[in-house]
Amino acid sequence: MKAGMKVSEQGIVAFDTSKLDHSAYIAYVHDPGYQESARTAAGGWGEQIDAAVKAVNDADEGFKLALAALMQDKSLMDGTVGGFNREATSNPYPSLEETAKAEHIPKDKKAVAEWWHDLDPVTRGILLHEKGDELRKAGIMSPLYKWHSPDEGSGTFNTEDPTAKDLWYLARAQGIAVGGDFTGENAASRNMEHYLGKTGEPLDLHIDRILQDDSGFRDDVSVHIAQNQDAWRKQGLDAFEKAGGDKTVVVPVESKAVGRTFGSDEWFHAVGSHQQNVSGMVSVSPGEDGKPKVSLDYQANVWDRYNWDAGKSTTFPAIGEIPDSEMGRLHRTGLAQEFDMRGSSSTNTYDLNSDANPTVNPPDQGREGTRGDVSRGDEENR
């Protein structure tokens, strides 16, 4: 390679020191900076080669799929039993590579959203029409935003020996967990119980219930849409025009994640401050009146870390004000463990052709949740 690299039979890229003259080789051997830059360059070339090979493989796979469709004998009455498909239609996807991509939905849910973003807008439109429910369940609307806890919380888990005072803190925490059900703060009760369970496993938040309970959160979600709807509509219409204006296109969209605090007592005690955004997709289809129909399918997303920060305090009904440092000691002494929380709402739809301000109407959550009410969400990893 002109860049001074060599490629093995296995496709591994490395800096080719055999092409260096004696003085350059000596400089390379004795200069760690030179070696590091060579490794970085080799890594970059390796990624380009991998991408090129993948594109060729995808195109080859797409050709096989398209050829298989042509060869499939769909009629036993056309005189070509076991032969060529006389009724074959053209490949609906923009390219053979897209045909292959469409057939290979990732099994890992975390990779589905990235796969969806990598598709052509026309391919997404075809797949959404054919497998909409299946794909939504698989996670195509999941956000690409990568959340990280903004602080270290109470410190390292189980690094201190508990004292008699810590056992008193534990008794008060257990009282909060039990008392939450009697005061109507079931979510706070559930989250405290998970903290005292000491597993450290992530907890799934019931976002539809938060939308129902917290008007401020509903307003926040409306703002996410209002601030982005013009740009999102333009993205969709640009893709529609580029595709010829006669095919349905789908464009993934996502708002910027921002920090907010829940206002309702229950969700303030259960979660409090958090990161939130909106993710989804804009669909544009030909309209009967000649004007394209533009709609937004979206979900609200929330992330937070259940922890206790020194210097703060929280007031609980029937118990009073408790310093966060007391609850945080339970984590450091191994009597409880902090954990991540996240969740996404069910899908909502908004007409981007409408002049009305976006409003969020969460589905009816039925009876008030209790600790055993499955409508509150399962404690599961996401």
For the stretch 208-211, contacts whose Cβ atoms lie closer than 8 Å and that sit 24 or more positions apart, written own/partner, are 208/345, 208/346, 208/362, 208/363, 208/365, 209/362, 209/365, 209/369, 209/375, 209/376, 209/377, 210/262, 210/267, 210/271, 210/302, 211/300, 211/345, 211/360, 211/362
Give the dihedral of Cα atoms 298, 263, 268, 210; nearest 10 deg: -30
| pLDDT in the model for residue 104 | 87
| pLDDT in the model for residue 316 | 67
pLDDT at 72 over 60: no
Report the distance separating Cα 68 and Cα 88, nearest Å: 10
Q: What is the pLDDT of residues 294-336, one digit of tens each?
A: 999 999 999 999 998 777 777 766 666 778 888 899 999 999 9
What pTM value is reported for the model? 0.74
Higher local confidence (pLDDT), 40 or 382:
40
Distance of CA 23 to the CA centre of its chain: 51
What value, to the nearest 5°, has the Cα angle with vertex 5 and ends 31 and 12? 105
> Per the structure block, which two tokens stand in for 149?
């806890």
Instruction: Indicate the domain borders of the chain.
Output: 5-98, 164-376
pLDDT confidence bin for 378, thresholds 50/70/90: very low
Report the distance separating Cα 56 and Cα 53, nearest Å: 5
